[in-house]
Chain A
Amino acid sequence: MIYFDNSATTKPLQEVLESFHTVSESYYGNASSVHRLGLEASRILRKAHEQAGLLLNVNPEEIIFTSGGTEGNNLAIKGIAYAYQSRGKHIITSKIEHPSVLVACEFLATQGFEITYLPVDQTGVVKVDDIKAALREDTILVSIMHVNNELGTIQPIKEIGALLSDRRYTFFHVDDVQGFGKVKLELKDNGIDLYTLSGHKIHGLKGTGLLYVKKQVRLAPLFHGGGQQFERRSGTENLPGIVSLVKAMRVVTEYHLHHAEHIQQLNNKLRLELSHFPEVVINTIEDQAPHILNFSIPGFKPEVILHALTERNIFVSTKSACSSKKPDESAVLSAIQLPRAQSTSAIRVSFSYHNNEGEVELFARVLKKILKDLKK
């Protein structure tokens, strides 16, 4: 089996599963209980906050554990919107954000907020000047992803952070679900106020994630209840999930530290292999996130290629269709104004640290065969 769909989800690591299992079995106390089991659970929870804080180089109290990327993005965007609506009701985001950002913004638009959706250039990158031009007195939030999920393009987070640095009441949210562990991003120096992570994209488990919220930033909660997690996210903490998430963060951070080139080499190799295919156009420009490569095979239905690959136990992805208005066109690819033939025939390969060059070679061989068969 060759699994090349790591931007959709990743295989949980053995040690992540072990942590999950140990905590579920031995530390099942409610962290809010006052007895010893509860105390134990709350100590583990505190340690999880500390470890996550260490890995992100932020304070432990700035971490809110969530159920994943969608909750993190919703909490960040609606949380800021409702906490600061008296200061302004304008939000800036881009056209290539994940649906959990875009649709949350669309919802806010029905609640009296005004949203500016910025275009991207032909390489899939938001222009800092566009943000500058869109900023208004009443802009309370700018939400831009770090690494795009379909193309792998890296957005100019540092520059946007610098642009916003002297605006006290314009908060900056970064969705880093795709970037963490592959493209380094320092939170402290880059003016980031909110930052979303998801567990299952980094070899953790589904239903886990976190949102970093800078200390001074207020946030209206999505969930009302027992006031857990510093009154910001009520609900009994999912301790096994939280511990497994932090474990995955640690392991992936180590991978990144020691094997950053590995994924880049896989990417380079695939680019090279695909350059020998006359039918293939590569959509991801060079020097972007190492783990994502998007390409089109104009004239072929991508689903057909996907099914043919699946038959040979190779798993890739076509577009993430959910945000597109036209049923067969990728919203992200249409945002970079690819010709329709290209934007409707895209395939995304996304690597993990566990893939190897042999798999890339085999993939290329199989793809060649498939195209040959389809042309018959």
Chain B
Amino acid sequence: MLYDHILIRYGELSLKGKNRKVFIYQLHENVKMKLKDFTNIKVSSARDRMTILLNGEDPNAIMPICQQIFGIQSLSLAIKIDNTEEAIKEAALFTLTNVKGAKTFKVTTRRANKDFPIGSQQFNHHVGTHLLVNTEAFTVNVHEPDVEIHIDIRKDATYITSERIAGAGGLPVGTSGKSLLLLSGGIDSPVAGYLAMQRGVRLEAIHFHSPPYTSEAAKQKVLDLAARLAQFGHDVNVHIVPFTAMQQKIHREIPNGYSMTVMRRMMLKISEIIAERNKILSITTGENLGQVASQTMESMHAINAVTNYPVLRPLVTLDKNNIIKIAQEINTYEISIRPFEDCCTVFVPKAPKTKPKKEKVEQLEQQLDLTRELEELLDNTLVVKVSSVQSKQDEFEDLF
């Protein structure tokens, strides 16, 4: 006997009323996309659950992938069998003996199909007895069992599952529209992107690249971060903006204390233009209140003033320690701490204003004409598509 199904229970989306269909459809698409290398599987969705029919594919390879897909509350390996007492007993025994390290168990029957001749309570006893007779090391514990064997008797068939494995929760990526993530290469911005995706956001990313002040390696770092994020959802388009000329001009013409504020304002302005051109409705940043000079309340006030777009700041009130913890969990931390300069750190003045005044910034900017630089950088912005599935034709694949 083999596990032949994976059972997926929806997360919050079961609460979403009329939008439910849209959510289920999106989750279905996301699951199919992530598992497209497993050509034999069949995914089907019902109102309250999704099943993946394995058709011989390896469940141990599929489970970890599903655990990263947002919108899934929990998953279980399952066996689908006929509604006969014998078949159910046999499958329950298989399930119990396949759980590692368990000593106690409990059987829970749900009988949605009332035509099934034995009552749920009574059936629990029948199956429990069968398990005790046919195993040696197990005992029953109805209060705190190591394993709970769920028997779900439905019209078409019976599903047997044991361990519930936690999914990633959240909403299916794509159900909350698109946002443009400012991706710097630091620790915070990828975490912000991840948290936005957890709420169903589909990401594009923008990166400000200042060659020769920043290296190829710094750009590669950003693409690697985008690739990590893409694993949680869809392909990510990374807009790489050549920022050198503008940055140099700001640095040259704006008094030291204010250059950083102006630079940030320009970044946001450029982001808005690129968002608009790509029909993206919001901007996401990794800003974290009070962390650096550009992220004080006064700075945010002065910088935010250049855009009317909603700016999502998932990290704004988190502790840095929590951010690092998430970064480590989603494996972006190791990439982020690679020691390459990003464009935010290259031109940092010795003493940036921590309390810039909006009026002062606007006044300074009026004397600065950046039209030509803006046009040029928009013309030369490069879009790199980062794939959500690790491609088999990876560039160095044949070496390994």
How many angstroms between the C-alpha atoms of A247 and B334 in the bound complex? 24
Are B400 and A243 in contact, CB atoms less than 8 angstroms apart? Answer: yes
Question: What is the size, in residues, of chain A's interface with B at 8 Å between Cβ atoms?
Answer: 19
Against A, the Cβ 8 Å flags (1 = close, 0 = not) of B191-232 are: 000000000000000000000000111001000000000000
**A36 in the interface (beta carbon within 8 A):** yes
Against B, the Cβ 8 Å flags (1 = close, 0 = not) of A41-63 are: 01110011001000000001100
Question: Secondary structure at chain A's binding surface: helix, strand, loop or mixed?
Answer: helix
Give the residue of A34, A43, A247 whose beta carbon is less than 8 angstroms from that of B400: A247
Q: Report B-chain residues with C-beta under 8 Å of the C-beta of A35.
A: 216
Give the residue of B217, B334, B394, B399 whose beta carbon is less than 8 angstroms from that of A34: B217
Task: Give the Cβ gap from A197 to chain B, nearest Cβ, in Å.
Answer: 16
Question: What is the size, in residues, of chain B's interface with A at 8 Å between Cβ atoms?
Answer: 9
Are A44 and B216 in contact, CB atoms less than 8 angstroms apart? Answer: no
Give the residue of B215, B220, B394, B399 whose beta carbon is less than 8 angstroms from that of A19: B399
Q: Report B-chain residues with C-beta under 8 Å of the C-beta of A48.
A: 400
**A23 in the interface (beta carbon within 8 A):** yes
Q: Report A-chain residues with C-beta under 8 Å of the C-beta of B215.
A: 34, 39
Q: Report B-chain residues with C-beta under 8 Å of the C-beta of A246.
A: 400
Are B400 and A39 in contact, CB atoms less than 8 angstroms apart? Answer: no
Are A39 and B399 in contact, CB atoms less than 8 angstroms apart? Answer: no
Are A61 and B399 in contact, CB atoms less than 8 angstroms apart? Answer: no
How many angstroms between the C-alpha atoms of A19 and B398 in the bound complex? 8
Q: Report A-chain residues with C-beta under 8 Å of the C-beta of B216.
A: 35-36, 39
Task: Give the Cβ gap from A165 to chain B, nearest Cβ, in Å.
Answer: 13
How many angstroms between the C-alpha atoms of A34 and B400 in the bound complex? 24
**A22 in the interface (beta carbon within 8 A):** yes
Are B217 and A39 in contact, CB atoms less than 8 angstroms apart? Answer: yes
**A269 in the interface (beta carbon within 8 A):** no
Q: Report A-chain residues with C-beta under 8 Å of the C-beta of B400.
A: 19, 47-48, 51, 243, 246-247, 250
Task: Give the Cβ gap from B304 to chain A, nearest Cβ, in Å.
Answer: 35
Are B399 and A44 in contact, CB atoms less than 8 angstroms apart? Answer: yes
Q: Which residues of chain B from 44 to 86 have any CB-CB distance to chain A below 8 Å in the complex? A: none
Are A247 and B217 in contact, CB atoms less than 8 angstroms apart? Answer: no
Are B396 and A39 in contact, CB atoms less than 8 angstroms apart? Answer: no
Q: Which residues of chain A from 36 to 94 have any CB-CB distance to chain B below 8 Å in the complex? A: 36, 39, 42-44, 47-48, 51, 60-61
How many angstroms between the C-alpha atoms of A257 and B334 in the bound complex? 31
How many angstroms between the C-alpha atoms of A187 and B107 in the bound complex? 33
Are B399 and A247 in contact, CB atoms less than 8 angstroms apart? Answer: yes
How many angstroms between the C-alpha atoms of A61 and B333 in the bound complex? 12
Task: Give the Cβ gap from A113 to chain B, nearest Cβ, in Å.
Answer: 34
Closest to A55 in B: B400
How many angstroms between the C-alpha atoms of A44 and B400 in the bound complex? 10
Closest to B390 in A: A50
Against B, the Cβ 8 Å flags (1 = close, 0 = not) of A12-29 are: 000000010011000000
How many angstroms between the C-alpha atoms of A354 and B246 in the bound complex? 63
Are B217 and A42 in contact, CB atoms less than 8 angstroms apart? Answer: yes
How many angstroms between the C-alpha atoms of A214 and B217 in the bound complex? 27
How many angstroms between the C-alpha atoms of A34 and B220 in the bound complex? 12
How many angstroms between the C-alpha atoms of A209 and B110 in the bound complex? 54
How many angstroms between the C-alpha atoms of A186 and B396 in the bound complex? 27
Are B396 and A61 in contact, CB atoms less than 8 angstroms apart? Answer: no
Against A, the Cβ 8 Å flags (1 = close, 0 = not) of B358-400 are: 0000000000000000000000000000000000001010011
Closest to A250 in B: B400
Closest to A42 in B: B217
Are A61 and B217 in contact, CB atoms less than 8 angstroms apart? Answer: no
Q: Report A-chain residues with C-beta under 8 Å of the C-beta of B394.
A: 47
Are A23 and B220 in contact, CB atoms less than 8 angstroms apart? Answer: no
How many angstroms between the C-alpha atoms of A301 and B400 in the bound complex? 44
How many angstroms between the C-alpha atoms of A60 and B220 in the bound complex? 18
Are A22 and B399 in contact, CB atoms less than 8 angstroms apart? Answer: yes
How many angstroms between the C-alpha atoms of A35 and B400 in the bound complex? 24
Are A39 and B220 in contact, CB atoms less than 8 angstroms apart? Answer: yes
Closest to A47 in B: B396
How many angstroms between the C-alpha atoms of A36 and B219 in the bound complex? 12
Closest to B400 in A: A51
How many angstroms between the C-alpha atoms of A60 and B331 in the bound complex? 11
Task: Give the Cβ gap from B224 to chain A, nearest Cβ, in Å.
Answer: 8
A selection of 21 A-B contacts at a CB cut-off of 8 Å is A19-B399, A23-B399, A34-B215, A34-B217, A35-B216, A36-B216, A39-B216, A39-B220, A42-B217, A43-B220, A43-B396, A44-B396, A47-B394, A47-B396, A47-B399, A48-B400, A51-B400, A243-B399, A243-B400, A246-B400, A250-B400
Q: Which 9 pairs from chain A and chain B are nearest by CB?
A: A51-B400, A19-B399, A39-B217, A243-B399, A39-B216, A44-B396, A246-B400, A47-B396, A247-B400
Task: Taking A36-B216, A42-B217, A47-B396 as given, write out 8 further A-B residue pairs in contact, using a Cβ cutoff of 8 Å, ordered by the A residue number.
Answer: A19-B399, A23-B399, A34-B215, A34-B217, A39-B215, A39-B220, A44-B399, A243-B400
B contacts, CB < 8 Å to A: 215-217, 220, 334, 394, 396, 399-400
A contacts, CB < 8 Å to B: 19, 22-23, 34-36, 39, 42-44, 47-48, 51, 60-61, 243, 246-247, 250
